[in-house]
Amino acid sequence: MKIFLTGATGYIGKRLLIQLLSEGYEVICSVRDKKRFNTTLYRNYENKLSVIEHDYSDSATLTPVDKDINIAFYLIHSMSSNADFSKAEKISADNFARTIEKTHCKQVIYLTGIVNEDQLSKHLQSRKDVEEELKSDLYSLTVLRAGIIIGSGSASFEIIRDLVEKLPVMVAPKWLKTLCQPIAIRNVIELLMGVMGKAFTYDKHFDIAGPDVLTYKEMLLIFAEERKLKRTIFSVPFLSPKLSSYWLYFITSTSYVLAKNLVDSMKINVVAEDSHLAEKLNVHLLNYRESLKLSFDKIEQNDVLSTWYDSFGNYRYTKNVWNFLEVPTMGVFKDKKVRDIKDEKKTLDKIFGIGGKNGWYYANYLWILRGSIDKLFGGVGLKRGRKNSQSLNAGDSVDFWRVLYASREDKRLLLFAEMKVPGEAWLDFKIENGKLIQEATFRPVGILGRLYWYSVLPFHGYIFNGMIKKLVDDREF
């Protein structure tokens, strides 16, 4: 059976792809940019996997698809976009439907959100509108409507984690009383796989959710119990949606645009109508505590396959970051430092372990300050961390950087800045002839860019000197 998968570089798509390949399916992945697709994750399935480049918001990019596909998954959304995501989602869905109609595809499977309330948020209404756009007389549509998804790296899990682990006392908006019905990422993948080719699911929609109906406050407190943390939460009625969005943005690792859309949706109860789908597919639904424990295990084992950051939802991602893979040499400022290496393996381990919980090895308080300033001005800050403390791949996020190139064999790590700066910035680490070359490059925009460089130059000298000394030190980090 041949499967067509969109959203293969996103949080759900990466996990679904691994499952499809491991069960022997041939998969065609549709991605906006092939450079973002990390083939090393799937090197054991090369004969079963192919990748094409489509941007469903632009019909000019839509080349013909293999006519012999049997099933297609639609896992595209635009919730993190600064633009009118409702319009963008309709255009993408329509272009996708027209593309699939030219194939022999029998079933399209769409993952969306639960939409049982009379009044819906803009985000949930958009998801429901997409459902209508995807309907066709030439294939059957199966729609799975999920509650909030709990799993290591999911937006919901990471936001709850940020709130609980960073705030002993929370004064939170009144949406803490809103009801929701979370579902484990494991169950989402099982149900997506389970409905494939099942005729009883054709041209129908199903709510999918775990067994627990909880308020957001209860979810936070249960998370705290599982982490053995004592937390106190007060709910206040006077925080407006805008203030609530800023509250969520500054405390958690989400972007402001996503926080705004989340707050809008958090005012709506998200409770499932029992579809009995899990019973029919013999899927055991995990409760909220079980979902959390599985997530904690994945984090402790350093086995987080994907995170919501993989979707490139920040303001900077409206640019194609892969256009910055070639570090410029003209019209730029550079801070280049070279040191002899004592132990190459230890230095490589430090380079590829940089950021996140390990920090930046020197003057971490200044990195934290820079992250706080970035957050204050609408940037991503340092809260994203990294999904794996031992390995890095192209496309991964590392605090307020994006990995453009990562190769232990080539002994090189190249990072591109996603903090708010008046220009573009790169941080490059490479080992050549027994020496570590650490190079920061900044391409300024206008006078403001040049003033910025000169204002931070004293700090760069202090930070980058200290950092390279720590990297070449043969002691463990």
DSSP 215-270: EHHHHHHHHHHHTT---EEEEES---HHHHHHHHHHHSSS-HHHHHHHHHHHTS-B
Q: Which residues pair with 438 in a beta bridge?
A: 337, 429
* Enclosing H/E stretch for 144: strand 140-146
Are the C-beta atoms of residues 340 and 346 closer than 8 Å to each other? no
Task: Count Cβ atoms within 10 A of the Cβ of residue 410 and give its class: 0-12 exposed, 13-18 middle, 19 or more buried.
Answer: exposed
Output the CA torsion sign for 424, 154, 244, 269: positive
Question: Which pLDDT band holds residue 187 (cuts at 50, 70, 90)?
Answer: very high
- Comparing 28-37, 52-61, 365-374, 414-423, the range with the smallest average pLDDT is 28-37
Q: How far apart are CA 383 and CA 401, in angstroms?
A: 11
Per CATH, 2-308 and 314-472 having the same topology is answered no
Q: How far apart are CA 312 and CA 408, in angstroms?
A: 24
Q: How far apart are CA 274 and CA 96, in angstroms?
A: 30
**Per-residue confidence (pLDDT) for residue 213, from 0 to 100:** 95
* Enclosing H/E stretch for 189: helix 185-194
Q: How far apart are CA 259 and CA 276, in angstroms?
A: 32
Are the C-beta atoms of residues 443 and 328 closer than 8 Å to each other? yes
Task: Count Cβ atoms within 10 A of the Cβ of residue 399 and give its class: 0-12 exposed, 13-18 middle, 19 or more buried.
Answer: buried
**Per-residue confidence (pLDDT) for residue 318, from 0 to 100:** 45
185-194 and 11-22 helices, crossing angle to 10° = 50
Encode pLDDT of 191-239 as tens digits: 999 999 999 999 999 999 999 999 989 999 999 999 899 999 887 776 6
Q: How far apart are CA 474 and CA 469, in angstroms?
A: 10
- Spell 19-46 as b/e; 16+ CB within 10 A means b: ebbeeebbbbbbbbeebbbbeeebeebe
Encode pLDDT of 306-357 as tens digits: 555 555 444 444 455 666 778 888 889 999 999 999 899 999 999 999 998 8
**Per-residue confidence (pLDDT) for residue 312, from 0 to 100:** 46
Q: Which residues pair with 203 in a beta bridge?
A: none
Pick the CATH number of 314-472 from 3.30.70, 3.30.530, 3.40.50, 3.30.2010: 3.30.530
- Tallying the residues shown for the chain, one arrives at 477
Q: How far apart are CA 63 and CA 274, in angstroms?
A: 40
Percent above pLDDT 70 for the chain: 87
Percent above pLDDT 90 for the chain: 43
- CATH architecture, domain 2-308: 3-Layer(aba) Sandwich (3.40)
Domain ranges for the chain, please list them: 2-308, 314-472
As a whole number, mean pLDDT of residues 183-196 equals: 95
pTM for the full predicted model: 0.74
What are 397's two structure tokens?
A: 């996020």
Q: How far apart are CA 239 and CA 259, in angstroms?
A: 14
The Cβ-side half-sphere exposure at 470, using a 13 Å CA radius, reads 18
- Comparing 272-286, 316-330, 424-438, the range with the smallest average pLDDT is 316-330
**Per-residue confidence (pLDDT) for residue 314, from 0 to 100:** 43
**Per-residue confidence (pLDDT) for residue 255, from 0 to 100:** 65
